[in-house]
Structure formats: structure tokens, C-alpha cells
Amino acid sequence: MSHTKQPAPRQEGDARELDDFWLPDFCSPAATRRLIAIALLMSVLLLVAQTPVLWPFPFWDAVIVLGMICTLIAVSFAHICQWRRRMAHWSYFRAAVVAVVIIEGHLIWVVFLGLSLHEWMGLSTQSYNEHPIITVLRYMLITAIFAGLFMRYLTLQARLREREKAALQARLEALQARIQPHFLFNSMNIIASLIVIDPVKAEQAVEDLAALFRASLRENGDVSLAEELALCRRYANIEQLRLGDRMQLSWKIPTDVDSVRLPQLTLQPLLENAIRHGVELFATRCDISLVVEVSDERVEIVLSNPLPDARRTGNQMSVRNVSERLRARFGNEASLQTSEIDNHFVARVSLPRLHVQGLHEAAVN
């Protein structure tokens, strides 16, 4: 019996909590690009608001304003990144207020630095002809409005995602609770026939069937790819008793897949679909291929089976079920694509941020 190493629950829970936190990770590359765009937009707006004459273009004023805003955004959001883990446990309002306070606090010294630089360069435009305190207060008011609207947008977006996720979770639970009656009846008949002629195989079939039921009824969540593949093997073992040599599975999987996390029951429904619409309709040998390819950033899982001449119509429930599981967990970062290539049905699952080492090939007959 194989034992799968489980990650520390506390660390995994904290990681999931940060993933679900409404305040984005502003230190990520994607967030950095958005912040640069915001800095450019704010620079243009502030320059238009504070400069009565735009021609000739106040080049140095524009440079100073852009430098001030970029400095403010870089320092403030780096500070927010340091507080993000602690803020994940706070309410929407408290986290938003603290984020705005951090931005406003850094704004004070950034504005004074900009005024000092403006004076040192000897620029004499109408942009800074008021008292420095008034300038700081004006910038604080403008920044508070921008930051408040930005935080409000993020909270509304997070609440919309929560509602969508709750609705999707309810639908997934309903789909997960459905067990194919024909598979259950076939399995029970196989077990009954094996009890007399091969009790060992009958016992193994009961264990495999129990594992499948536990996975089907278990609360939705992530499992390692090793666990999901083990579940696929149990399902294949049961179907092998019924289909015999007609079904041949070829596996190409990583040697260490414990670190790869994916929603449970991601691959097993696809394997069931391949057997139902492939192997069952062939009178001769039918080869199913499962290949896992891993890079530093993504993992690709490809399951393919030959298509018979006389095909069985289906409602694509398995494919939709898996697609919705991936979307609920990873959003647009994961996908399930199906296609027909060289008279084979190919299902390709693409997942983000998964790391494994080494590959080996195994064949299951």
C-alpha cells in the first residue's frame, strides 16, 4: 500500500487563504504592469489639473509628477505586500482603510521630496506656487479619492467572485453526488462472480470501489496528482475485470507528483469517458494513453483514446464537470480542451504553478 506525503495543513490553508484574499499580490509581475499603467494615468490627470497652460509642454513638471507617483506606488504597495498576510484575516473595511493609510503616509514625504526637487532645479511654473502644506493636503485629498475608489473596486470585484464561486460550488457538489448506476451495478455483479472463483480479486475490487465512493462523496478540495492517479488506477482495475484484454492503458507520468495539486476527480471522469466512448465500443484491443508533462510554470495532462466507427452519443457531462472544477479552482489560468486528432479523442488539461522532478514511463496491462 502506497503512502502519500501530505503537506502541512497550516501552510496549505494559509496559501489558499492568500489566494482567495480580495487584495491582490501587488508584487507580482501582472500587478506591477497594472500599477505602471495607473501611475501614467494619474500623472496625466494631475498634470492637467495643476498646470493652467499645457503649451509649451511643461516637460520637467511632467517628469517630477511621474517620478513622485511611481515612487509613491512602488513604496506603498511594497509596504502593503509585507502586510498582506496579516491583512488576509481582516474585514474588507479594515484592510481597505489600512491600505489607504499606508499610501497617504508615504505620500507626505514623497510630495515634500518632489517640492524640494522642483525648487532645487529652479523651475518657476505655476504648478507649485502655493504653500507647501496646501500642496500636500491637495495631493492627499486627490490620492485618497483615487485610492478609495480603487479599494472599492477591488472589494466589489471580490464579492462578485465570492457569489459566483458559491453558486459554482453548489453546482459542482450536485454533479459530484451523481454516481453512474450502470458502473455500480456492473461492479457489484463482477464482485459477486469473483467471490467464489477468486476471493483475492473480489476483495481488491471491493477496496477499489470503496475508494471511488469515498472520493465521490468527499468534500470538494485539492488532492495531489499522485492521489488522483491512484484513483484512476483503482477505477481502471475495476473496468479491467469487465473488459479484460480489450482495454490497455499506457501511462507516462512524473516520478514525484506529490507537489502537483489539482481538484479531486479531475482525471477519473475523463478516464471513465474514454472507456465508455472508446473501449466499450471496440471488439478488439483498445489503447488509452495518459501523458503528464511538467515545466517550471505549468503541467499538461493529455488523455487520448481511439474513436470507433459507430459512436455513442453523450451529453458531455464529464467534460463540463471537469471544466467547472478547474474554473472554480484556478479561474482562467487552467483549461480543459478536447479535440479529435487522427481518429482519436484527445482531452488536454492545463494547470498552473506546478512543480515536479523527473519522468518515468510505465505500462499497465
Please compute the mean of the pLDDT values over residues 276-292 and round it to a whole number: 87
The answer on pLDDT for 281 being more than 80 is: yes
pLDDT of residue 12: 47
The answer on pLDDT for 357 being more than 60 is: no
pLDDT of residue 58: 61
- Report yes or no: 307 and 273 within 8 Å, Cβ to Cβ: no
Q: State the pLDDT confidence band at 57, using cuts at 50, 70 and 90.
A: low
pLDDT of residue 129: 57
pLDDT of residue 365: 40
Question: Per the omega criterion (within 30 degrees of 0), is the bond before 56 cis?
Answer: yes
Between CA 194 and CA 210 the distance in angstroms is 16
Spell out the domains of the chain, with CATH numbers in brackets: 14-174 (no CATH), 222-364 (3.30.565.10)
Mean pLDDT, the chain, rounded, equals: 76
pLDDT of residue 142: 80
Lowest model confidence (mean pLDDT) among 55-59, 65-69, 208-212, 289-293: 55-59
The answer on pLDDT for 14 being more than 70 is: no
The answer on pLDDT for 282 being more than 80 is: yes
pLDDT of residue 37: 77
Position of cell 463540463? 320
pLDDT of residue 126: 45
Between CA 275 and CA 345 the distance in angstroms is 11
pLDDT digits (tens, 9 = 90+) for 129-177: 567 788 788 878 888 888 888 888 888 888 887 777 766 665 655 555 5
The number of beta carbons lying within 10 Å of the beta carbon of residue 48 is 10
Closest CA to 214 of 202, 231, 226: 231
Displacement of CA 310 from its chain's centroid (Å): 38
336 by Cβ neighbours in 10 Å (0-12 / 13-18 / 19+) ranks as buried
The helix-helix angle for 317-330 and 132-176 (nearest 10°) equals 150
